[in-house]
Chain A
Amino acid sequence: GAVVSQHPSRVICKSGTSVKIECRSLDFQATTMFWYRQFPKKSLMLMATSNEGSKATYEQGVEKDKFLINHASLTLSTLTVTSAHPEDSSFYICSARERTGEAGANVLTFGAGSRLTVL
């Protein structure tokens, strides 16, 4: 089945630094990937839709200059948290939909998530 690899799984950084999280579709091509953020014991919040070869589409309230998304190829999207602050500490999860997936089904395959802790 479809596999999405996400790295790093855990990262600790100092306030003010930038952190990059990678999301790769291992055995399928993904023109669209999605980035979610999850707070402890809470639901997933869609942050942005990453589109291969074009700009990401951000959800309302998500700072695009804060959370930089690049989707340079059909198998790789990256999320960079710039000038991180403690309030950016969270669990970030990426997901992708297979191009050949069932039409209209929109079933997503998720990465294992990245836990970011900003000191």
Chain B
Amino acid sequence: SQQGEEDPQALSIQEGENATMNCSYKTSINNLQWYRQNSGRGLVHLILIRSNEREKHSGRLRVTLDTSKKSSSLLITASRAADTASYFCATAKTGGGADGLTFGKGTHLIIQP
């Protein structure tokens, strides 16, 4: 079963606007990660936030984590057409490094030029 559930499933905004995607998960986590996937390609790691962190920034990305609500959000500011992609949150089944990540269903983001 999927650990993470993103919403919305699809999001279309105008270039320059901010895009916010949310993710909920069910079990305890060591960290939560966000990945991006361009159509028909592999995934690219964007950002990781640890369970003891509440907010993290990386360039135009801002991630928040609320462990009490088991939810995370990814904000992309000043969106660009090149940001069009699917975005997935991912969690590890345990805190160890040998486990594969479990991915949510993803949010398909479309940036209209």
- Most chain A beta-carbon contacts within 10 A, residue among B41, B98, B99, B100: B100
Asked if B44 CB lies within 8 Å of chain A CBs, one says yes
User: Which residues of A, 79-119, contact B by the 8 Å Cβ criterion?
Assistant: 91, 93, 95, 97, 101, 103-113, 115
Quote the shortest CB–CB distance from B19 to chain A (angstroms).
Answer: 19
Contact of A108 with B45 in the complex, beta carbons under 8 Å = yes
Quote the shortest CB–CB distance from B110 to chain A (angstroms).
Answer: 13
Quote the shortest CB–CB distance from B66 to chain A (angstroms).
Answer: 20
- Most chain A beta-carbon contacts within 10 A, residue among B2, B45, B88, B102: B45
Contact of B99 with A49 in the complex, beta carbons under 8 Å = yes
Contact of B42 with A93 in the complex, beta carbons under 8 Å = yes
Number of interface residues of A (CB under 8 A): 28
Could you tell me which B residues sit within 8 Å of A by CB distance? 2, 30-31, 33, 35, 40-45, 48, 88, 92, 95-106, 108
Alpha-carbon gap, A93 to B106, bound state (A): 16
Contact of B92 with A110 in the complex, beta carbons under 8 Å = no
Contact of A105 with B97 in the complex, beta carbons under 8 Å = yes
- Most chain A beta-carbon contacts within 10 A, residue among B42, B95, B97, B104: B42
Given contacts A43-B2, A106-B92, A115-B40, contact A97 B97 (CB under 8 A): yes
Contact of A46 with B42 in the complex, beta carbons under 8 Å = no
Contact of B101 with A101 in the complex, beta carbons under 8 Å = no
